[in-house]
């Protein structure tokens, strides 16, 4: 035990004792139950792993390996004492997700059967209006496992080359060739599964031909090009390992100065009030908009008519194309995008002989979901739906991704360059399936039938399938990762934990523990229960706050975990920074139990 000193009013100093981490009472009780003579032998530890941790296939050999790894915490090598048992539970060797799982989903189904880790305006370093365009955020996204990179391509000032930039804004451009070369270099660093490049094309036919040459020369044999212009079914991720795929609308006649900027950027002049976060938002990002009641409150003042579905540059029928387009550019397109004329009903029609990609803004999807939820699900069973942020998100904030996922949308496109609660949900979803960037959609979103009644209804009130019981024991590590005055100038921090569910509306909830005053090693020992009707889409949200009476509560760490991969038992939960980077030491000790 040591002491820490804080200055108060320049006149006197307060001293606080710093205790060593001690096992909570329930951990002590479990140790007594699964040990003998204060030693947990391999057979005792195996029984604990099977009965408490629900690791039904655990062996004594595995238990012995754990004991050997923590031998340095005790003198007797025959087993674990209480200290080494506690150290094991609180270690990186006891994570909440099974590290050995790797990629375990069946990857042989069509691409339309998977949620895909998708970026929006992947080249921007910051806000949507004035930040620099660069290949650096593209590299960072690929390193994280993002599988869909979006590039907006425009003629340069001399009209003889191609730049990537956010059109009709002040964003300084980056050359397309630099982005392509970086994609090639980093595409498969984090995952061997295919990378899709979505192009927003604002080029003349001669520059389209130049893009085709650049793409072909850069990617060579790893570029996937289909044999026919339209395909009946998308290939599988497994068949496309280490391949690059181009997705865009079929090229149309160049409109020069009349070219309209893409639909998600047509409202830059609106929403400038969204550009500056305030108070708590600066540390946490805005709370994820609720999906309760069938609409998102954050969108209630944004009316989107069905006619708006044709307001972007994907609204051209391929059979009306002019003949002066670059044929080599057309041949690059493996996933065709576009919005048919005729409004929402036409957009959601399923062609049995052809698959395609449809893009909707978050507002358009929200509007469509009110009366056409099951049609959207049916569309996404064979076709790909991309959802992108509304144009007023000039601060590069994001929306609730569950609105897309619960309707089967594969490409829920996010601004990856920022941070905030919505982005943490995206990070959490794609921790699943070994972090490969592809997560198999739940079977209920893929079940087809002869009538709409046999398709999943996102609005249906469903019975509870299981209840997740969460116990928050304690936390540690802030003392090592932060300065002692980071949270409070005058005393140690007062931490509390928020824990809850992001999922379908009926499952979504947040709860919190009481704050523990003046303690770098807070022990809460509080239990919460979360009934889950759709656990397959649910994410466990965990945030640690430092309570402050006079100001906004401080950020103490966060993580989101996919519940369908959550391990039962007592687990060590590493926490991350606002940008999703793992802290060296900060973690929580928690217990997860599934009650059927």
Residues with catalytic function: 120, 166
DSSP assignment of 98-131 equals -GGG-S-S---S-GGGEEE-EESSTTBSS-TTTS
C-alpha distances in angstroms, 422 versus 284, 397, 574? 10, 8, 19
Q: Which of 552, 553, 545, 547 shows the shortest CA–CA distance to 575?
A: 545
Sort strands 411-414 and 384-388 into parallel, antiparallel or unpaired. Answer: parallel
The span from the CA of 308 to the CA of 359, in Å, is 12
The span from the CA of 381 to the CA of 454, in Å, is 13
Q: Which helix (H) or strand (E) holds 246?
A: strand 244-248
Beta carbons of 214 and 177 less than 8 angstroms apart: yes
Structure tokens at 102: 């790797």
Rg of the chain over CA atoms, in angstroms?
Answer: 26
Structure tokens at 149: 């990179």
Beta carbons of 242 and 357 less than 8 angstroms apart: no
C-alpha distances in angstroms, 58 versus 28, 64, 592? 22, 11, 18
**According to DSSP H, which parts of 307-361 are helical?**
327-330, 344-347
DSSP assignment of 221-245 equals GGEE--SSSS-SSPPPTGGGTT-EE
- Strand, helix or coil for residue 310: helix
Q: Which residues contact 343 (CB under 8 A, 6 or more apart)?
A: 306, 307, 309, 310
Sort strands 554-562 and 539-546 into parallel, antiparallel or unpaired. Answer: antiparallel
Beta carbons of 252 and 386 less than 8 angstroms apart: no
Sort strands 384-388 and 357-361 into parallel, antiparallel or unpaired. Answer: parallel
Dihedral sign from CA coordinates of 258, 261, 262, 268: negative
DSSP summary character for residue 566: B
């Amino acid at each position: 035990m040591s002491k820490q000193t804080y200055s108060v009013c320049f006149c006197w100093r307060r001293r606080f004792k710093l205790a060593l981490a001690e096992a909570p009472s329930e951990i002590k009780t479990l140790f007594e139950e699964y040990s003998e003579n204060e030693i947990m032998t391999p057979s005792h530890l195996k029984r604990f792993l099977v009965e408490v941790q629900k690791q039904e296939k655990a062996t004594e050999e595995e238990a012995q390996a754990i004991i050997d790894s923590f031998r340095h915490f005790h003198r007797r090598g025959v087993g674990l004492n209480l200290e080494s048992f506690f150290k094991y539970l609180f270690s990186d060797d006891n994570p909440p997700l099974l590290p050995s799982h790797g990629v375990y989903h069946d990857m042989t189904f069509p691409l339309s059967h998977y949620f895909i880790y998708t970026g929006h305006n992947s080249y921007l370093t910051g806000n949507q209006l004035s930040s620099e365009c660069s290949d650096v955020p593209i590299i960072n996204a690929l390193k994280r496992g993002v599988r869909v990179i979006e590039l907006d391509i425009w003629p340069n000032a001399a009209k003889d080359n191609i730049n990537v930039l956010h059109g009709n804004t002040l964003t300084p451009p980056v050359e397309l060739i630099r982005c392509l070369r970086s994609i090639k270099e980093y595409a498969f660093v984090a995952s061997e599964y295919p990378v899709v490049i979505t192009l927003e094309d604002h080029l003349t036919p001669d520059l389209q031909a130049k893009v085709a040459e650049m793409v072909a020369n850069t990617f060579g044999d790893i570029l996937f090009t289909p044999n026919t212009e339209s395909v009946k079914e998308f290939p599988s991720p497994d068949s496309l390992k280490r391949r690059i795929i181009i997705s865009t609308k079929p090229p149309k006649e160049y409109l020069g100065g009349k070219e309209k900027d893409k639909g998600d950027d047509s409202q830059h002049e609106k929403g400038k009030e969204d550009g500056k976060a305030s108070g708590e938002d600066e540390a946490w990002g805005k709370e994820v908009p609720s999906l309760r009641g069938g609409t998102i409150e954050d969108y209630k003042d944004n009316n989107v008519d069905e006619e708006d579905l044709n307001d972007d540059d994907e609204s051209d029928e391929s059979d009306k194309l002019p003949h002066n387009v670059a044929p080599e550019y057309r041949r690059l397109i493996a996933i065709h995008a576009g919005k048919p004329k005729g409004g929402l009903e036409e957009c959601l029609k399923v062609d049995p002989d052809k698959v395609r990609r449809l893009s909707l803004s978050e507002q358009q999807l929200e509007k469509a979901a009110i009366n056409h939820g099951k049609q959207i699900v049916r569309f996404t069973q064979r076709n790909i739906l991309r959802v992108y942020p509304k144009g007023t998100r000039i601060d590069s904030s994001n929306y609730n991704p569950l609105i897309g996922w619960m309707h089967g949308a594969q490409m829920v496109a996010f601004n990856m360059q920022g941070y905030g609660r919505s982005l943490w949900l995206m990070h959490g979803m794609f921790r699943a399936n070994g972090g490969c960037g592809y997560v198999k959609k739940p079977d209920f979103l893929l079940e087809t039938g002869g009538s709409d009644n046999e398709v999943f209804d996102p609005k249906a009130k469903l019975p509870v399938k299981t209840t997740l019981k969460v116990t928050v024991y304690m936390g540690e590590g802030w003392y090592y990762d932060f300065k002692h005055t980071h949270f409070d100038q005058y005393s140690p921090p007062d931490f509390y934990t928020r824990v809850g569910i992001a999922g379908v509306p009926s499952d979504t909830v947040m709860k919190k523990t009481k704050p523990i005053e003046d303690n770098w090693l807070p022990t809460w020992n509080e239990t919460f229960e979360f009934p889950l009707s759709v656990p397959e889409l649910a994410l466990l949200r965990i945030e640690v706050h430092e309570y402050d009476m006079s100001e906004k509560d401080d950020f103490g760490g966060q993580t989101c975990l996919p519940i369908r991969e959550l391990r039962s038992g007592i687990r060590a939960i590493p926490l991350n920074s606002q940008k999703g980077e793992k802290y060296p030491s900060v973690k929580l000790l928690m217990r997860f139990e599934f009650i059927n």
